[in-house]
Structure 1
Amino acid sequence: ASYAVANKALDVVRQELGKMLKLIDPKELRPAWVVDFPMFEKTDADRWTFTHNPFSMPAIADIEKHMNGKEDEIGTIIAQQYDLVLNGYEIGGGSVRAHKPEILEATYKNMGYNKDDMLKSVGTLYKAFHYGAPPHGGIAWGIDRLMMLLGKKNSIREVMVFPKTGTSEDLLFNAPSLLSDKKVEEMNVKVIKKK
């Protein structure tokens, strides 16, 4: 099993053991910051890819490793990423963003992209970094998850204004639905019917 699959499976075991052994007090709110995420992970095709996003800064101590891009060190690079967790649910996550062109170029090089491929993917951002982007970071809050916890609800759907079903259907807007021929034409989409 892969590292990600093992983590998901062990998380379920951890949560069940916590309930069985009465280690979790449902009346308590227990926040925690999760830091020191790996910047890269291996894909099933044995290539490096980003774990959260390719726009994070590596940890200050790992910038040299990041820039060198040695195959045996790429997996040890730590990203400046963080999550805020409350009672086992992520309620916020973000990172200090890469703001230097050479960092962005090294990230894509570490994932096996040449410079031309990188420019096709993120060329506008790469060019903008040459004009002097300041160091910056951010966080995206999961307010709906926080409301679920504070409201002692069992599902995030209970606090959402327009919740989707378990199969991602939106019953209010009848979505997803088939597009009309006119909409397909407007979107410049080519539909190929299989025999």
Structure 2
Amino acid sequence: MAQTSWGAPEHEPRFPQLTMETLTPAQRPLGEKIMKISSVGLAGPYNPMIRSPEMAQRMYDLLDYLRWHTSVPTRLNEFAILIQGRLWRSQVEWYAHYPLAIKAGLSEQVAADLKANKRPEGMKPDEVAVYDFCMELSTKHAVSDESFARAKQVLGEQGVVDLTALTGTYVTVAMLLSMAEEGVPPGKEPPFKAGER
């Protein structure tokens, strides 16, 4: 399918962009919450999510915990989100979370290597633990004893559970974005170019 310059399809959108004015009474309370915290407003994953208001509210509550109240340090949390963004080539996830990861202290070189689909060089020991854990779980659907032990040592039991929930939740976010063919904002460059692995 042909793509526009920002990675969205050239045909009619699968889900026309919602605005506060177009929300139903069932959607409006969550829409108001989203507008207070979202850098993309009702765009990105919220545009398809809110079409199922009850599911969207529950997902919003989970994302609220996983983003702002998790036991996983912000730098590692954002790194894990970028890992899923890269695995899924999720334009919106990478676009939204790359600046957050850098602001939280992730090295630009580590992010650049990840974006280039390479095992990042120069990772800190806790980043190695998160990378190996997330990559094994996502690509092998299992975690080796060594990777589990390292992640548990770095994050503790709660952290390992929180990291697992985070990485799985951002697979769901990537799926919603992909299914809905959501792209980065108009005029912005998509992180992943056509034909890149």
- The interval holding the TM-score normalised by the smaller chain is under 0.3
Compute the TM-score of the two structures, normalised by the length of structure 1.
0.24
The structure carrying a bigger strand percent of its residues is: 1
Q: Which has the higher contact order (CA 8 A, sep 6+)?
A: 2
